[in-house]
Structure 1
Amino acid sequence: MFQRIVTFFEKGSFGVSEYLAGKLNMSTAKVRLFFIYSSFLAVGFPILFYILAAIVLDIRRYMKRIRLKIWE
């Protein structure tokens, strides 16, 4: 049951934590904990960063799909 909840939130998190963890060569759990703790300290700024990063990553995925369609 708990694993199903975790999987749901991992798939719905836009892949921001996974992307940053891959770029910084860290575990995904540490990046998520950083966002959670820093959002308490910085009064919501990390949440805005997370939303902006999700939008940027979504646009990048969309542009890659368009590029692949053009060259097919």
Structure 2
Amino acid sequence: MKQWQYFIEKQAFGVCSKIGEKLGIATSVIRMYFIYASFLTFGSPLVLYLAIAFWMNVRNYVRRGKACRETSL
């Protein structure tokens, strides 16, 4: 079960994990809030989740680009 959970966390952008690290809240609690909010608001938190995932991906891409440019100088 832990292997499955690790696979899902790694493949699901890491948004809940990152939020949990920043706020000091357990990742499972944040996931449950996303799930409950999605049911109550007919899925609108999924848009927020995907926007955060996109932003995290862009930020990582920019950081990798800067690191590559600094090493080539």
TM-score, with structure 1 as normaliser: 0.92
Partner of 1:19: 18
Residue 70 of structure 1 deviates from its aligned partner by: 1.0
* 1:19-65 Cα distance to aligned partner (Å, 9 max, x none): 11112111111111110111001111111111111111000000000
Residue 3 of structure 1 deviates from its aligned partner by: 1.7
1:71 aligned counterpart, secondary structure? helix
User: 5+ residue gaps in structure 1?
Assistant: none
- How many pairs are equivalent? 71
List structure 1 runs of 4+ shifted beyond 4 angstroms: none
Partner of 2:50: 51
Greater relative contact order (Cα 8 A, min sep 6): structure 1 or 2? 1
Residue 6 of structure 1 deviates from its aligned partner by: 1.0
Larger Cα Rg: Structure 1 or Structure 2?
2
Matched, 1:9 2:8: yes
Higher mean C-alpha displacement, 5-14 vs 55-64? 5-14
Higher mean C-alpha displacement, 34-43 vs 3-12? 3-12
